[in-house]
Amino acid sequence: LLQLKPAINVIGMVTSAENMPAGNASKPGDVVTSLSGKTIEILNTDAEGRLVLCDALTYGIDNFKPASVVDIATLTGACMAALGEVNSGLFTQDEALAEQLQSAAKYSCDKVWRLPLEEDYQDLLDSNFADMANIGGPLAGATTAACFLSRFTEGTPWAHLDIAGTAWVGGAKKGATGRPVPLLVNYLLAK
């Protein structure tokens, strides 16, 4: 992207989490406080990536005041179950942003499929002990993960790309695919 010299400012943040056992590791039933001050009940310790990502969203939005945010994560097996290795899951309530990303995806042949991000799913994250739970239960896992992230982006045009099924391939061609770099480059160049 630097070689293409787009006439826009781009800020990239890399967050990562490793789910490792330790005496001080999170456990089901813990309540943690996010950078935003919102409390989160840990129902599943395998959903640790979204805890790091929600703080990154808060930090990025508060400190950089971006015109838009697109987060990319290998977030859920549920998205992989729904879309396989062909399409990345696209979640947003911003129609203009959805159109821009879908157009960039089509142009770059870096496929996405828009999945629901409706208010009706937000109730699945309800918690009796915190502002929200870190998972929404056994149903609509990719959507409830996106709903969780959406709670940290209020007022900012935001989209989430779940690349769990498209980020790498296995077997004889094992390795990273580079997706969604072509989509994002085309999205940014069209700005």
CATH code of the domain containing 177: 3.40.630.10
The DSSP code for 98 is: H
Q: What is the pLDDT of residue 1?
A: 61
Question: Per residue in 111-158, pLDDT tens?
Answer: 999 999 999 999 999 999 999 999 999 999 999 999 999 999 999 999
Q: What is the pLDDT of residue 20?
A: 78
* Cα–Cα distances in angstroms (integers) from residue 20 to residues 27, 46, 111, in the given order: 11, 10, 33
Q: What is the pLDDT of residue 131?
A: 98
Domain of 177, in residue numbers: 31-189
Instruction: Kindly report the number of other CB atoms within 10 A of residue 40's CB atom.
Output: 26
The answer to whether position 171 is within a domain reads yes
Q: Considering its fold, how many domains does the chain have in total?
A: 1
Question: Per residue in 68-111, pLDDT tens?
Answer: 999 999 999 999 999 999 999 999 999 999 999 999 999 999 99
d(Cα 115, Cα 37) in Å, to the nearest integer? 28
The answer to whether position 66 is within a domain reads yes
Q: What is the mean pLDDT of the chain?
A: 95
d(Cα 110, Cα 146) in Å, to the nearest integer? 20
SS3 category, 40: strand
Q: Which residues of 148-159 are buried (b: 16+ CB within 10 A; e: fewer)?
A: bbbbbbeeebbb
The answer to whether position 180 is within a domain reads yes
